[in-house]
Amino acid sequence: MHVRLSKTFGFESAHWLPCFPPEHPCRRMHGHSFRAEVVVEGSFDPKQGYLIDLNDLTAATLPLEQALDHRCLNEVPGLDNPTSEMIAKWIWDRLKPVMPLLTEVIVQETCTSRCSYRGT
């Protein structure tokens, strides 16, 4: 039996995007109520009844949430250009070693904008 599970966490953060020209509004410091969704996928034995313990997924995402929440993302190591794309990859790079079934990270920056990353 094949399933796909997801866990969502939020973080309130500020950032500015140095990759944009100086006159671009995103070049100025601003903040977002980010949402990150991590997705694991795989087959499981119906006798066991689950793919992974969701508590393990929560435990794996908590340090990432704490590293990002109420921070200036440009100051987080590895996020000097904190676009949604780079945030998704940053989360992936830290989760994949401890969550081998990770298949996707989705970062929602605004109510209407999000990025999906599925590894390299």
Boundaries of every domain in the chain: 2-117
pLDDT for the residue numbered 120: 79
Query: DSSP states of 10-76 as a string?
Result: EEEEEE--TTS-TTSGGGS-EEEEEEEEEEEEEE--TTT--SS-HHHHHHHHHHHHHHHTTEEGGGS
State mean pLDDT over 63-87: 98
State mean pLDDT over 22-26: 95
pLDDT for the residue numbered 86: 98
Question: Cα-flanking dihedrals φ and ψ of residue 104, to 5°?
Answer: -165, 145
**26 flagged as catalytic:** yes
pLDDT beyond 90 at 14:
yes
CB half-sphere exposure, 77, CA atoms < 13 A = 3
Name the percent of the chain lying above pLDDT 70: 100
pLDDT beyond 90 at 23:
yes
Q: In the sheet that 114-117 helps form, which strands lie side by side, from edge to edge?
A: 71-72, 2-15, 30-43, 102-108, 114-117
CATH code given to domain 2-117 = 3.30.479.10
CA distance 118 to 108: 15
CA distance 39 to 37: 7
Name the percent of the chain lying above pLDDT 90: 98
Q: What rounded mean pLDDT belongs to the chain?
A: 97
**109 flagged as catalytic:** yes
**24 flagged as catalytic:** no
Q: Which of 12, 19, 24, 70 is labelled catalytic?
A: 70
pLDDT for the residue numbered 92: 98
pLDDT tens digits for 32-57?
A: 999 999 999 999 989 999 999 999 99
Q: Which of 26, 41, 104, 115 is labelled catalytic?
A: 26
